[in-house]
Amino acid sequence: MGRKFHLLTYGCQMNEYDSRVIASILTTAGYLETNTLETADIIIVNTCSVRENAENRALGRISELQGLKKANPNLLIAAVVCMAQNLG
């Protein structure tokens, strides 16, 4: 069974577009998209630091995901796009 990913997108239409591109790249690489956080091997949080509300929601969501990380130490949680650049 292939590795699974789940995308969480916050921000503008460009973030939605970027998430579709990320999903396409991962699918082409053999990953399967899942609608459930609990079955994901990779959770990608795609957001924008230009929109403060989107960034705050994404940061809050990442904090909430820590419980899943404790239950599954192999789970990868990644923040991408301009928020990742902004936070380093």
pTM of the model: 0.80
CA-nearest of 46, 70, 66, 68 to 57 is: 46
Q: Taking 80 as the threshold, does the pLDDT of residue 53 lie above it? A: no
Beta-sheet strand order (sheet of 32-33): 32-33, 4-9, 42-46, 76-80
Task: Give me the amino acid identity at 6.
Answer: H
pLDDT band at 51 (very low <50, low <70, confident <90, very high): low
The pLDDT of residue 77 is: 92
pLDDT of res. 58:
78
Three-state SS letters, 7-49: EEECCCHHHHHHHHHHHHHHHHCCCEECCCHHHCCEEEEECCC
Residue 47 pLDDT:
83
pLDDT tier, 10 (very low <50, low <70, confident <90, very high otherwise): confident
